[in-house]
Chains A and B, each alone.
Chain A
Amino acid sequence: MIEPMDFLLWVRGSLFDVAVTVFVIGIIIRFFEILSLGRSKDLAEAKGTEFVPGIKTIITRTLPEQGTFKRQPLTIIAGYVFHVGLLVSLVLFIPHIELFRQTFGFGWPGLPNPIVDAAAVLGIVGLLAALWNRITNPVMKILTDNEDYLVWVLTFLPMITGYLAYHRMVNPYPLILGLHILSIELLMVFFPFTKLMHTFTLFLARWYNGAMSGRRGVES
Chain B
Amino acid sequence: MTDRKAETLGAILRKNGVSRRGFLKFCTTTASLMALPPSWVPTLALALEQARRPSVIWLSFQECTGCTESLTRSHSPSLESLIFDYISLDYHHTLQVASGTAAEAAREQAMHENAGKYLLVVDGSIPLGNPGYSTIAGISNLQMLKETAKGAAAIVAVGNCAAFGGLPKANPNPTGAVSVSDIITDKPIINVSGCPPIPVVITGVLAHYLTFGKLPELDQYNRPKVFFGTSIHDRCYRRPFYDKGLFASTFDDEGAKKGWCLYKLGCKGPMTYNACATAKWNQGTSWPVESGHGCLGCSEPDFWDAGGFYNALSIPIGDVSRNTAYAGAAGLVLGAAAAGLNRKTKAEAVRNHGKVSIDDLEKPS
Which residue numbers of A lie inside 8 Å of B, CB to CB?
A: 3-6, 8-9, 12-14, 16-17, 20-21, 23-29, 31-33, 35-37, 94-96, 98-99, 102-105, 110-114, 168, 172-174, 177
Contacts and interface: CB of A to CB of B under 8 A. Distances in A.
Contacts of A12: 306-307, 316-317
B330 A25 contact: yes
Contact of A94 (B264, B273, B336): B264
A155 to B, nearest CB: 19
Determine the interface band of chain B, counting residues with CB < 8 A from chain A.
35 or more
A98 B314 CA distance: 7
Interface string B231-259: 10110000000111101000000000000
B313 A94 contact: no
Contacts of A105: 321
B338 interface: yes
B243 A24 contact: no
Q: Interface of chain B, helix or strand or loop or mixed?
A: helix
B112 interface: no
Nearest to B327: A24
B316 A17 contact: yes
B343 A36 contact: yes
Interface of B: 220-221, 231, 233-234, 242-245, 247, 263-264, 270-271, 273, 300-302, 305-307, 311-318, 320-321, 323-324, 326-328, 330-332, 334-336, 338-339, 342-343, 346
Contacts of A113: 242-245
B245 A111 contact: yes
B306 A9 contact: yes
Contacts, number: 132
A98 B311 CA distance: 9
Contacts of B242: 113
Contacts of A8: 271, 306
Given A12-B316, A27-B331, A20 B324 contact: yes
28 contacts: A5-B302, A6-B302, A9-B306, A9-B317, A14-B318, A21-B330, A23-B327, A24-B324, A24-B327, A24-B328, A24-B331, A25-B330, A27-B331, A32-B336, A32-B338, A33-B335, A33-B338, A33-B339, A94-B245, A99-B320, A102-B312, A102-B321, A110-B245, A112-B243, A168-B233, A172-B220, A173-B233, A174-B271
**B270, B307, B314, most chain A CB atoms within 10 A:** B314
B219 to A, nearest CB: 8
A168 B270 CA distance: 9
A25 B333 CA distance: 9
Nearest to A8: B271
Contact of B335 (A3, A28, A102): A28
Contacts of A94: 245, 247, 263-264
Nearest to B273: A172
B320 A103 contact: yes
